[in-house]
Each structure stands twice: as C-alpha cells, then as structure tokens.
C-alpha cells in the first residue's frame, strides 16, 4: 500500500487482500512496520530538478575567548557601529564573533549597555548577564553603563542591582569618549596589581586622621599638625568652640568656618528640624521688620503692668 503524499509506504500487512482498505492508523494498531522513503520531486525533460537545493548555513556558536585578547581589545561584531570605537587612541582593537561585547584581557569581559536602550528593552540585560555568569572562562566581568538619560535614577538603580546580583562590576560613563577611555584603562591595567587603583591606607592612627581633615579644601597638613598639638585627639577637635579653634597658629577665620561647618552642619539639611520650616520665615522669638510696630505705623501704649492698651 503506497502513500506517496506522505512520503512513506506500508509493507507487510496482516491480511494482504485487505491492504487497500486499511488506513495508516489501522496498520500501526496491527503492528505493521512503516518503512520511511524519501519523497521524490518530479524532474523536467532535461533531468534537472524543479526545486534547486539551497545550502544550509549552520550558525557557529559565539566564543567566550579570543587569541588576540591578550594584546588588544576584542569587540563583538554587534558593536561594529558603536560610536565609542572611534575614540580608541592608545589601545588597538579588532572585531570578532564573541559572546561578550568586549574582551579587555584573557578572561576579562565587558558588557556595554546604554541606559536609553535599557529603558526600552529592560529584560535583555538579565538574559545577557546570566549567560556570561555561567561561563567559567570569564573570571572578571564588567558592566559598562553609558548614562545617556538625564534624571533616570530608577533605571540606574535597577541596573546597579542587576550588576550586583550577577557578579558584575559596574562602571558608569557619561559620554562615549569617557566610555572608550574606561575600556582602554581596563586594558592597560590588566596585569597591574589591585593597589594601583586604590592605594593601601597607612596603618598608623595620626596619618589616617590627617587624611580625614585634609578632605576639607581649606585645611592642609600643617593645619592638622597645629590642631593635633593644641587639642591632642580628634574628639577634642570635633567638640572645640570657635574661640578655641582661632587660638591655634595658622588657623584663620576662613578655616574656622570650614571646620565648624564640617563638624556641625547635618548631612541632610532637609530632614533637620531647623531647616524644615519656611526659609523666609524668621525663627521663633525673632520679630521681622514687617511685624514690628514701627513698620506698621501703629502707636502702642502700655499701662503700668506692661499690658498693651
């Protein structure tokens, strides 16, 4: 029994005389073996096939490494039109079919993300981070974020959480030239020690206290030495009054104001009770010029007990 439209023939029926009236489902129920045969396309008089065979292209999987990653920045083919590539000046780069957006070293990958693109396609970032997180060939993972949207604090916080939960170090750039400079710095710092980016702090107490006070623009190292000799410890410096600070050699009024502002002003003035009211409204117990009797033109007389008449 032949089934040319289905591409196979049924052979060896149970009852040879009834093969013409049996359906393929009946043959399967009866335990008949179905032998698959390829469908033959009709050919023309010249013997050429009417349906020419087209070659099947097998897509090669994207690689997570590249042999040139040790000497240059390897960019993915997807980043060919990225404008940051034209700002590469100190480090060469090449294009290759790789899974990450950039390879800045052996085992060091960079995922490039535009904040504007992330707001349009928020789910794509997690898929890419999960794919690279599972790769054992990548030991260092960076997420380079181009902050090209003003005031997108919620989107920026979302990207920060995704980078933290998937083991990526977040690097934020404000412009394409800055993003290119960061990529070149990552490549240049590939074989450097970690302390080249953040030097180790001095273990001694006095130099570390000096670094705290020298954060203020008006205070230098000589001022710290003068304050240390006068007060002896950081607690006494923090609790010092204005007159005591002015008695220190080399500490003038400008430096005193800078120190008192750093020691006494709150970190968040909006939440402080002293700044919660109307800034144009005078403080309690202080009378403004508009509320004064002389400004209103009224004459107020008082009796012997001090009450207004």
Taken in order of first residue, the domains within the chain and their CATH numbers are 73-190 (3.40.50.10130), 205-264 (1.10.150.20)
- What does the pLDDT profile of the chain (309 residues) look like in tens digits? 444 444 433 333 334 344 444 444 443 444 433 344 444 444 444 444 445 455 555 556 788 888 898 899 999 999 999 999 999 998 999 999 999 999 998 889 999 999 999 999 999 999 999 999 988 888 889 999 999 988 888 899 999 999 999 999 999 999 999 999 999 999 988 877 666 656 666 778 888 888 888 888 888 888 889 998 889 998 999 999 988 998 888 888 888 998 998 888 887 665 545 444 444 444 444 444 444 444 445 555 555 555 555
In this prediction the pTM is 0.49
Q: Which phi-psi region, left, alpha or beta, contains residue 96 (left: φ > 0; alpha: ψ -120 to 50)?
A: beta
Tokens of 153: 């604090």
Pairing of strands 73-76, 102-105: antiparallel
Among candidate residues 187, 151, 193, the one with its CA nearest the CA of residue 171: 187
Contact in structure between 160 and 147 (CB atoms under 8 Å): no
- What are the backbone dihedrals phi and psi of residue 289, each rounded to the nearest 5 degrees, phi first? -70, -35
DSSP three-state, residue 102: strand
| Start-to-end CA span in the chain (Å) | 125
């Amino acid at each position: 029994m032949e089934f040319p439209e289905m591409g196979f023939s049924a052979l060896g029926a149970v009852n040879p005389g009834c093969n013409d009236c049996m359906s393929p489902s009946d043959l399967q129920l009866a335990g008949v073996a179905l032998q698959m045969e390829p469908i033959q396309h009709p050919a023309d008089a010249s013997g050429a096939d009417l349906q020419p065979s087209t070659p099947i292209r097998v897509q090669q999987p994207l690689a997570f490494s590249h042999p040139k990653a040790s000497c240059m920045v390897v960019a993915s083919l997807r980043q060919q039109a990225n404008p940051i590539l034209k700002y590469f000046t100190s480090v060469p780069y090449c294009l290759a079919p790789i899974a990450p957006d950039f390879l800045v070293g052996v085992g060091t990958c960079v995922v490039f993300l535009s904040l504007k693109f992330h707001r349009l396609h928020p789910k794509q970032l997690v898929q890419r981070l999960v794919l690279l997180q599972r790769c054992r060939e990548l030991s260092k993972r960076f997420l380079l974020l181009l902050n090209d949207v003003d005031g997108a604090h919620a989107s920026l916080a979302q990207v920060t959480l995704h980078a933290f939960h998937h083991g990526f170090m977040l690097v934020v750039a404000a412009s394409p030239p800055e993003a290119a400079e960061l990529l070149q710095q990552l490549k240049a710092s590939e074989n450097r020690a970690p302390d080249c980016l953040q030097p180790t702090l001095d273990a001694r107490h006095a130099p570390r206290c000096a670094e705290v006070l020298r954060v203020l623009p008006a205070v230098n190292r000589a001022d710290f030495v003068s304050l240390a000799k006068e007060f002896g410890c950081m607690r006494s410096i923090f609790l010092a009054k204005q007159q005591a600070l002015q008695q220190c050699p080399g500490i003038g009024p400008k430096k005193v104001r800078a120190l008192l502002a750093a020691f006494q002003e709150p970190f968040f003035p909006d939440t402080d009770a002293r700044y919660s009211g109307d800034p144009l409204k005078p403080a309690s117990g202080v009378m403004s010029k508009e509320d004064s009797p002389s400004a209103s033109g009224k004459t107020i007389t008082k009796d012997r007990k001090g009450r207004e008449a």
